[in-house]
Protein backbone atom coordinates (compact mmCIF):
# COMPACT_ATOMS: atom_id res chain seq x y z
CA UNK A 1 0.00 0.00 0.00
CA UNK A 2 1.72 3.29 -1.02
CA UNK A 3 2.08 5.88 1.74
CA UNK A 4 0.17 9.13 1.22
CA UNK A 5 2.62 12.01 0.48
CA UNK A 6 0.61 14.28 2.86
CA UNK A 7 1.12 11.81 5.70
CA UNK A 8 4.83 11.61 4.85
CA UNK A 9 5.09 15.44 4.94
CA UNK A 10 3.23 15.60 8.28
CA UNK A 11 5.59 13.00 9.73
CA UNK A 12 8.72 14.71 8.41
CA UNK A 13 7.48 18.08 9.78
CA UNK A 14 8.01 16.63 13.26
CA UNK A 15 11.69 16.01 12.51
CA UNK A 16 13.57 19.10 13.74
CA UNK A 17 16.01 20.25 11.08
CA UNK A 18 18.96 22.64 11.14
CA UNK A 19 18.22 25.33 8.57
CA UNK A 20 20.79 25.99 5.86
CA UNK A 21 20.99 27.95 2.65
CA UNK A 22 22.58 25.87 -0.11
CA UNK A 23 24.20 28.08 -2.73
CA UNK A 24 25.87 27.72 -6.11
CA UNK A 25 27.18 29.93 -8.87
CA UNK A 26 27.50 29.32 -12.56
CA UNK A 27 28.49 31.80 -15.26
CA UNK A 28 28.50 34.60 -12.65
CA UNK A 29 24.85 33.95 -11.68
CA UNK A 30 24.31 33.14 -7.99
CA UNK A 31 21.56 30.81 -6.87
CA UNK A 32 20.47 29.61 -3.44
CA UNK A 33 17.64 27.88 -1.60
CA UNK A 34 16.73 27.19 1.99
CA UNK A 35 17.32 23.51 2.75
CA UNK A 36 17.07 21.24 5.78
CA UNK A 37 17.79 18.03 3.83
CA UNK A 38 21.54 18.24 4.45
CA UNK A 39 23.56 15.71 6.40
CA UNK A 40 26.98 14.29 7.02
CA UNK A 41 28.06 11.35 4.81
CA UNK A 42 31.63 10.34 5.75
CA UNK A 43 34.61 11.85 7.59
CA UNK A 44 37.04 10.03 5.29
CA UNK A 45 36.89 11.74 2.90
CA UNK A 46 35.01 14.62 4.57
CA UNK A 47 31.73 14.72 2.68
CA UNK A 48 28.08 15.66 3.08
CA UNK A 49 24.90 15.43 1.05
CA UNK A 50 22.16 17.86 0.11
CA UNK A 51 18.80 16.91 -1.45
CA UNK A 52 17.74 19.64 -3.87
CA UNK A 53 14.50 19.90 -5.86
CA UNK A 54 15.28 19.56 -9.56
CA UNK A 55 12.84 22.38 -10.44
CA UNK A 56 15.06 24.96 -8.70
CA UNK A 57 17.67 27.16 -10.34
CA UNK A 58 20.01 26.10 -7.54
CA UNK A 59 19.86 22.47 -8.68
CA UNK A 60 20.74 23.50 -12.24
CA UNK A 61 23.58 25.76 -11.03
CA UNK A 62 25.08 23.00 -8.86
CA UNK A 63 24.98 20.57 -11.79
CA UNK A 64 26.48 23.10 -14.18
CA UNK A 65 29.15 24.48 -11.83
CA UNK A 66 29.99 21.21 -10.05
CA UNK A 67 30.22 22.99 -6.69
CA UNK A 68 27.98 24.15 -3.87
CA UNK A 69 28.19 25.69 -0.40
CA UNK A 70 26.17 24.86 2.71
CA UNK A 71 25.57 27.82 5.03
CA UNK A 72 24.13 26.98 8.44
CA UNK A 73 21.84 29.83 9.49
CA UNK A 74 22.24 31.58 12.85
CA UNK A 75 19.09 31.62 15.00
CA UNK A 76 17.91 35.20 14.23
CA UNK A 77 17.72 34.37 10.49
CA UNK A 78 14.08 33.29 10.05
CA UNK A 79 13.35 36.10 7.53
CA UNK A 80 16.45 35.20 5.47
CA UNK A 81 15.39 31.53 5.48
CA UNK A 82 11.92 32.47 4.19
CA UNK A 83 13.42 34.74 1.53
CA UNK A 84 15.57 31.89 0.19
CA UNK A 85 12.52 29.60 0.32
CA UNK A 86 10.83 31.93 -2.19
CA UNK A 87 8.63 33.94 0.22
CA UNK A 88 8.03 37.55 -0.80
CA UNK A 89 8.70 36.79 -4.46
CA UNK A 90 12.49 37.29 -4.58
CA UNK A 91 14.12 34.85 -6.97
CA UNK A 92 17.53 34.13 -8.49
CA UNK A 93 20.12 36.88 -7.89
CA UNK A 94 17.55 39.10 -6.10
CA UNK A 95 17.61 36.81 -3.06
CA UNK A 96 21.21 37.86 -2.33
CA UNK A 97 20.35 41.53 -1.68
CA UNK A 98 19.71 40.48 1.96
CA UNK A 99 22.58 39.05 4.03
CA UNK A 100 26.37 39.52 3.93
CA UNK A 101 27.31 37.25 1.00
CA UNK A 102 30.92 36.82 -0.10
CA UNK A 103 32.45 34.53 -2.74
CA UNK A 104 34.46 31.47 -1.66
CA UNK A 105 37.64 30.50 -3.55
CA UNK A 106 35.50 29.27 -6.47
CA UNK A 107 33.00 32.16 -6.56
CA UNK A 108 30.24 30.28 -4.71
CA UNK A 109 28.38 32.65 -2.33
CA UNK A 110 28.97 32.07 1.38
CA UNK A 111 27.17 33.80 4.25
CA UNK A 112 29.59 35.71 6.51
CA UNK A 113 27.34 35.30 9.59
CA UNK A 114 26.97 31.48 9.31
CA UNK A 115 27.93 29.56 12.48
CA UNK A 116 29.29 26.88 10.13
CA UNK A 117 29.91 26.91 6.40
CA UNK A 118 31.13 24.27 3.97
CA UNK A 119 32.36 24.56 0.41
CA UNK A 120 31.95 21.36 -1.58
CA UNK A 121 32.83 19.84 -4.91
CA UNK A 122 30.16 17.48 -6.29
CA UNK A 123 31.43 13.90 -6.23
CA UNK A 124 28.10 12.26 -7.11
CA UNK A 125 24.67 13.42 -8.23
CA UNK A 126 21.83 10.92 -7.83
CA UNK A 127 18.39 11.71 -9.26
CA UNK A 128 15.55 10.30 -7.20
CA UNK A 129 11.91 11.33 -7.57
CA UNK A 130 11.61 15.13 -7.61
CA UNK A 131 15.07 15.73 -6.11
CA UNK A 132 18.77 15.30 -6.83
CA UNK A 133 20.98 14.06 -4.01
CA UNK A 134 24.30 15.87 -4.35
CA UNK A 135 27.18 14.27 -2.49
CA UNK A 136 29.83 16.90 -1.92
CA UNK A 137 33.49 16.39 -1.09
CA UNK A 138 34.22 19.18 1.38
CA UNK A 139 36.98 21.52 0.21
CA UNK A 140 36.73 24.13 2.97
CA UNK A 141 35.14 24.39 6.45
CA UNK A 142 34.39 27.77 8.02
CA UNK A 143 33.63 27.99 11.74
CA UNK A 144 31.85 31.13 12.94
CA UNK A 145 29.85 32.27 15.94
CA UNK A 146 26.28 31.73 17.06
CA UNK A 147 23.76 28.91 17.38
CA UNK A 148 21.83 27.14 14.63
CA UNK A 149 18.30 28.01 13.55
CA UNK A 150 15.95 25.01 13.84
CA UNK A 151 12.76 24.26 11.83
CA UNK A 152 10.03 21.96 13.16
CA UNK A 153 6.24 21.79 12.61
CA UNK A 154 6.45 24.67 10.09
CA UNK A 155 8.00 27.05 12.64
CA UNK A 156 11.48 28.30 13.46
CA UNK A 157 12.99 27.58 16.88
CA UNK A 158 16.16 28.40 18.74
CA UNK A 159 18.15 25.81 20.66
CA UNK A 160 18.12 25.91 24.45
CA UNK A 161 19.86 23.39 26.72
CA UNK A 162 17.71 21.06 28.88
CB neighbour list of residue 137: distance below 8 Å, 6 or more residues apart? 45, 46, 47, 120, 121, 122, 123
Query: Nearest Cα to 126, choosing from 37, 45, 43, 34?
Result: 37
Query: Nearest Cα to 135, choosing from 46, 21, 15?
Result: 46
Footprint (CB under 6 A) of ligand FMN, residues 88-117: 91
Choices 62-70, 79-87, 107-115, 117-125; region in contact with ligand FMN by CB under 6 A: 79-87
Choices 3-11, 61-69, 82-90, 108-116; region in contact with ligand FMN by CB under 6 A: 82-90
DSSP-derived letter for residue 74 is B
CB of 90 to ligand FMN, least distance (A): 8
Per-residue mark of binding to ligand FMN, 4-43 (x: CB under 6 A): ---------------x-------------xxxxx------
d(CA 74, CA 110): 13
The answer to whether the bond into 46 is cis (omega within 30° of 0) is: no
Using CB under 6 A, count the residues that bind ligand FMN.
18
Q: How many CB atoms lie within 10 A of CB 90?
A: 15
Residue in 52, 69, 73, 111 binding ligand FMN, rule: CB under 6 A:
52
Footprint (CB under 6 A) of ligand FMN, residues 116-145: 131
What's the N-to-C CA distance of the chain in angstroms? 40
Site for ligand FMN contains 149 (CB under 6 A): no
Which parts of this chain interact with ligand FMN (CB under 6 A)?
19, 33-37, 51-53, 56-57, 81, 84-86, 91, 131, 151
Amino acid sequence: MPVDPGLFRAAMARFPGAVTIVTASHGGARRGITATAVCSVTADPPSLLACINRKTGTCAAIRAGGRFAVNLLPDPSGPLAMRFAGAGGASGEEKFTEGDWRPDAFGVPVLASAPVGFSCEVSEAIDTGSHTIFIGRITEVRLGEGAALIYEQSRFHRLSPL
